[in-house]
């Protein structure tokens, strides 16, 4: 029988049939079926409730935010991490979904007999390596097996990810994660029996203009005690409210990461507008007249935003800018007049 009825619905159905107000043939034909029916697969029991899923989602959203800040400071580019799903799968299904090659970082769940997996796409690992070594990583790298040197470069990032993951989980349980090893092929990783249900948390990692996949896999048997403690009260209080100590720790992490983040600073000498015809006729030796006067202050742009005013000069034989004042709201309202073609009356 595909339809699943509650006990109350079963009692009502039997009562109607016994009283003669409902014919058996009408029931079998589906005449009295109402509402959407959800199939239940007894081979795939849900090991975690919806409330527990919401809690796990909140925990990993906190992890994604803090780890994203860390990547911004290390990679010196725009990084954002978002939780896309929290799923329950058979371990065999998860392993079949892993791409080949891949970067599977196995970690111990300290205090339990279980291990977890931090799955990072090779393209994300290679992008991290290129950024850490001074590259721009504008081109999306091809997926390949990372070399031992690249593994050593990425390992520090992975260990910090596990550190941030531990801090995020501390909102619901004192649990620790410890790096164990790296595997390139899923066939060599066996953290759970094939028929065991595992929790898979999926992330989108945006680095610059590129988006990469990252997954966390936890066997449910390793988290049974923790999951048993999760209830609706903890969803609203433990995760939603942080202790003063935890807030101070988060602020220290945030301040440390912000203090080591680089921002591009540009001193604009001036702007002008040219027609396409004038632009095509430019040649070596031509002088382009700017809209800025010689005795006027120039604007200093920080991270793409106009922030300061200054005057150009030189220090120790190098060009420099002396900051004179912060830009006011009136300065920010004023915009350079761009070239606008004359309107023609047709």
Residues paired with residue 323 on neighbouring β-strands, in sequence order: 310
Checking if the pLDDT of 105 tops 90, the result is yes
Which residues, 6 or more positions from 234, have their beta carbon under 8 angstroms from its beta carbon?
A: 55, 172
User: CB-based burial of residue 303 (10 Å sphere; 0-12 exposed, 13-18 middle, 19+ buried)?
Assistant: exposed
* Confidence at residue 232, expressed as pLDDT on a 0 to 100 scale: 42
Handedness of CA 264, 267, 273, 277 (dihedral sign): negative
Residue 239 has pLDDT above 60, yes or no: no
- Do 321 and 254 belong to one domain? no
Whole-angstrom distance, CA of residue 317 vs CA of residue 270: 22
pLDDT at 250: 65
Mean of the pLDDT values across residues 28-49? 59
Predicted local distance difference test score (pLDDT) of residue 30: 59
Report, as an integer, the average pLDDT of 259-282. Answer: 83
Q: Give residue-wise pLDDT tens across range 110-139.
A: 888 889 999 999 999 999 999 888 887 778
pLDDT of residue 128: 93
Domain that holds residue 296: 265-333
Identify whether residues 10 and 108 lie together within a single domain.
no
Q: Is the pLDDT of residue 296 over 70?
A: yes
Q: Specify whether 110 is located in the same domain as 27.
A: no
Say if 346 falls within a structural domain: no
Tally of structural domains, the chain? 3
- 4 and 60 co-located in one domain: no
Claim to verify: residue 54 and residue 162 sit in the same structural domain: yes
Q: What is the pLDDT of residues 153-201, one digit of tens each?
A: 999 999 999 999 999 888 888 889 999 999 998 888 989 998 889 999 9
User: What average pLDDT does this structure show over 54-64?
Assistant: 90
Residues 199 and 56 reside in one and the same domain = yes
Mean pLDDT across the chain, nearest whole number? 80
Of the listed ranges 46-55, 89-98, 120-129, 188-197, the least confidently predicted one is: 46-55
């Amino acid at each position: 029988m595909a339809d699943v009825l509650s006990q109350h619905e079963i009692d009502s159905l039997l009562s109607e049939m016994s009283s003669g107000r409902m014919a058996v043939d009408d029931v079998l034909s589906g005449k009295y079926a109402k509402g959407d029916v959800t199939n239940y697969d007894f081979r795939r029991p849900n090991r975690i409730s919806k409330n527990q899923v919401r809690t796990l989602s909140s925990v990993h959203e906190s992890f994604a935010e803090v780890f994203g800040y860390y990547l911004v400071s290390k990679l010196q580019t725009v990084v954002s991490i978002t939780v896309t799903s929290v799923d329950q799968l058979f371990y065999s299904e998860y392993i079949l979904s892993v791409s080949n090659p891949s970067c599977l970082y196995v970690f111990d769940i300290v205090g339990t007999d279980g291990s977890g997996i931090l799955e990072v796409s090779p393209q994300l690992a290679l992008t991290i390596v290129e950024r850490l070594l001074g590259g721009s990583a504008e081109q999306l790298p091809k997926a390949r097996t990372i070399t031992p040197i690249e593994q050593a470069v990425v390992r520090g990032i992975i260990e910090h990810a596990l550190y941030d993951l531990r801090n995020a989980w501390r909102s619901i349980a004192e649990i620790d994660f410890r790096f164990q090893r790296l595997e390139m092929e899923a066939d060599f990783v066996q953290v759970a029996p094939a028929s065991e249900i595992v929790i898979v948390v999926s992330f989108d990692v945006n680095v610059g203009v590129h988006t990469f996949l990252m997954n966390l896999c936890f066997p449910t048997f390793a988290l049974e005690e923790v999951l048993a403690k999760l209830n609706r009260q903890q969803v609203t209080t433990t995760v939603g409210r942080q202790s003063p100590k935890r807030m101070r720790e988060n602020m220290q992490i945030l301040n440390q990461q912000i203090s080591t983040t680089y921002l591009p600073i540009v001193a604009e000498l001036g702007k002008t507008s040219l027609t396409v015809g004038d632009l095509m006729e430019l040649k070596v030796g031509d002088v382009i007249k700017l809209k800025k006067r010689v005795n006027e202050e120039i604007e200093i742009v920080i991270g793409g935003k106009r922030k300061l005013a200054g005057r150009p000069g030189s220090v120790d034989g190098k060009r420099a800018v002396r900051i004179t004042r912060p830009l006011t709201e009136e300065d920010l309202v004023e915009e350079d007049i761009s070239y606008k073609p004359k309107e023609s009356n047709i």
